[in-house]
């Protein structure tokens, strides 16, 4: 199911290029705090906001590694659909030529979903929420990706900042997809139960972790290594 909110500028601008071509549902509510209708999986169209104001096209899984500050449930991740996220992200490339940052984001904000879900976002200020060309590219990315049969090796990605620049680049260059993404600052995520969810809570679960080696603290690196040894999980450092 494709979801948008008529109360969200970027959401409704992307949606108008999808409406009439695919079924689309208007929640007419806050895009990060609504009750999802029943479906097998979800693509949520949304604005992206950042103080930098940098033009951006992003994709990520909602959910909370810690306290739910923007909707959702405390300490609760949502199931993911890694290959579909990557197939969407790849199709953002025309926007890079116009100066847009093309990137994953780490898991954050609500709502909570019990089925695979991703947020597809246009930002990061009102100027770009109203960019009709960008909205159309993102809409086409969603439509085309839904028909793309390509599936990829999956990994739990750890390290770096909110926008996981190095992990994004690695994904696009090596055709690998992420179950979930955890940043250095999301310290609540560095425990065994969260790591198990990071690997398994997905339509395409994984038993491998990719770590940005300069994007974690020494304590976090040690925790990852100990987890890997205990559970037999492969680690790739980049």
Q: Where are the domains of the chain?
A: 2-237
Give the pLDDT score at 164: 97
The pLDDT score that the predictor gives to residue 51 is 86
Q: Is the pLDDT of residue 36 over 90?
A: yes
Percent of the chain scoring above 70 in pLDDT = 100
Q: What is the pLDDT of residues 194-229, one digit of tens each?
A: 999 999 999 999 999 999 999 999 999 999 999 999
Distance CA 70, CA 100 (A): 25
Paired tokens of 178: 């992420």
Distance CA 102, CA 95 (A): 8
**109-132: average pLDDT:** 97
**Do the Cβ atoms of 142 and 26 come closer than 8 Å?**
no
Query: Is pLDDT at 88 greater than 90 in this prediction?
Result: yes
**Where do the DSSP E strands lie in 50-169?**
56-60, 101-104, 117-124, 154-158
* pLDDT value for 199: 98
Helix (H, G, I), strand (E, B) or coil at 233: coil
Q: Determine contact, residues 73/112, Cβ cutoff 8 Å.
A: yes
Distance CA 138, CA 158 (A): 26
CATH superfamily of 2-237: AF0625-like (3.40.630.50)
208-211 and 234-237: which strand pairing?
parallel
Q: How many CB atoms lie within 10 A of CB 186?
A: 18
Residue 118 has pLDDT above 90, yes or no: yes
Q: What are phi and psi of 222, to 5 degrees?
A: -65, -40
Is a pLDDT exceeding 90 seen at residue 17? yes
Quote the pLDDT of residue 48: 96
């Amino acid at each position: 199911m494709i979801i948008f909110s008529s109360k969200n500028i970027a959401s409704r601008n992307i949606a108008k290029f999808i409406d009439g071509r695919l079924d689309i549902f208007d929640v007419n509510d806050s895009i990060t705090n609504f009750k999802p209708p029943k479906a097998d999986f979800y693509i949520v169209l949304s604005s992206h906001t950042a103080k930098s104001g940098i033009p951006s096209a992003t994709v990520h899984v909602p959910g909370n590694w810690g306290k739910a500050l923007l909707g959702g449930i405390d300490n609760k991740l949502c199931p993911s659909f890694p290959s579909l996220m990557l197939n969407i992200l790849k199709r953002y490339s025309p926007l890079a030529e116009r100066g847009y940052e093309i990137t994953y984001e780490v898991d954050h904000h609500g709502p909570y979903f019990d089925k695979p879900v991703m947020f597809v976002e246009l930002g990061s200020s009102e100027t770009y929420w109203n960019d009709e060309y960008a909205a159309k590219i993102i809409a086409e990315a969603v439509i085309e990706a839904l028909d793309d049969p390509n599936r990829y090796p999956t990994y739990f990605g750890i390290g770096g900042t909110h926008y996981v620049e190095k992990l994004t680049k690695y994904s696009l260059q090596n055709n690998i997809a992420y179950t979930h993404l955890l940043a250095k600052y999301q310290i609540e995520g560095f425990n065994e139960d969260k790591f198990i969810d990071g690997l398994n809570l997905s339509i395409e679960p994984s038993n491998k972790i990719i770590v940005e080696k300069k994007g974690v603290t020494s304590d976090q690196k040690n925790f990852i290594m100990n987890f890997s040894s205990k559970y037999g999980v492969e680690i790739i450092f980049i």
